[in-house]
Chain A
Amino acid sequence: GAGVSQSPSNKVTEKGKDVELRCDPISGHTALYWYRQSLGQGLEFLIYFQGNSAPDKSGLPSDRFSAERTGGSVSTLTIQRTQQEDSAVYLCASSLKGAGSPLHFGNGTRLTVT
């Protein structure tokens, strides 16, 4: 079946512009996660959704970052007034349920802020 789908796969934007990244989770997966991966680094947790609610927003690096999920499915991660340090690969994952089930990742959106 289809895996986690993210769009766009690549995004180049100018400093100060807003960007919106989209994630389509695996059908039926109730939990959805956003992670960020800088070049050659591990994964940094950003936010977690269970259904449409976000019980854990602790990883969002600043108030320029926000995320929403509607209909228990698609999620968007929005970065306002992008900065060069926001350049990274943004990875979305979903899992069938909450705690203790493996996350399945998409291929990410590579964001470059010039």
Chain B
Amino acid sequence: GESVGLHLPTLSVQEGDNSIINCAYSNSASDYFIWYKQESGKGPQFIIDIRSNMDKRQGQRVTVLLNKTVKHLSLQIAATQPGDSAVYFCAEKLNNAGNMLTFGGGTRLMVKP
């Protein structure tokens, strides 16, 4: 079936650099997308969300970009800090699936001091 996936399982960046985490989705019926951050031993923490009627949304140091043409979602983290080290998951919701989110496999972000 259709699913959410991630291109890079591990991303290593230098402290202070910008990070880009990518996610490909294959279900054109998805209308809501979320990025989560998960640190070891903790539950996923909401970072930012975007609806399918938007292309870009900005938060504090984070930006989510949605390209519906190629079914691609990305999370950009500006001035990456050691505290950003975690596993990042994208999730999608189908427009007829209540609020059930389908999660991708996750990307581990490692920030080098």
Contact = CB atoms under 8 A, between A and B. Distances in A.
Do these two chains interact? yes
Interface of A: 4, 31, 33, 35, 41-43, 45, 48, 50, 55-56, 59, 91, 93, 95, 98-108
Q: How large is the interface on B (under 10, 10 to 19, 20 to 34, 35 or more residues)?
A: 20 to 34
B25 interface: no
B101 interface: yes
Contacts of A108: 42-43
A55 B43 CA distance: 24
13 contacts: A31-B99, A43-B91, A43-B101, A56-B100, A91-B44, A99-B32, A100-B51, A101-B99, A102-B34, A103-B101, A104-B46, A105-B44, A106-B43
B90 to A, nearest CB: 10
B89 A43 contact: yes
A50 B88 CA distance: 27
Given A100-B32, A100-B51, A100-B99, A42 B46 contact: no
A78 B106 CA distance: 27
Given A104-B46, A105-B45, A107-B43, A48 B51 contact: no
A100 to B, nearest CB: 5
Contacts of A102: 34, 46, 49
A61 to B, nearest CB: 15
Given A42-B89, A42-B104, A48 B99 contact: yes
B33 to A, nearest CB: 11
B71 to A, nearest CB: 18
Given A42-B106, A48-B98, 17 more contacts: A31-B99, A43-B44, A43-B91, A45-B101, A48-B99, A48-B100, A56-B97, A91-B43, A91-B44, A98-B99, A99-B93, A100-B51, A100-B93, A102-B46, A103-B101, A107-B43, A108-B42
A95 B98 CA distance: 12
Nearest to A35: B103
B43 A56 contact: no
A35 to B, nearest CB: 8
Interface in B12-71: 31-32, 34, 36, 41-46, 49, 51
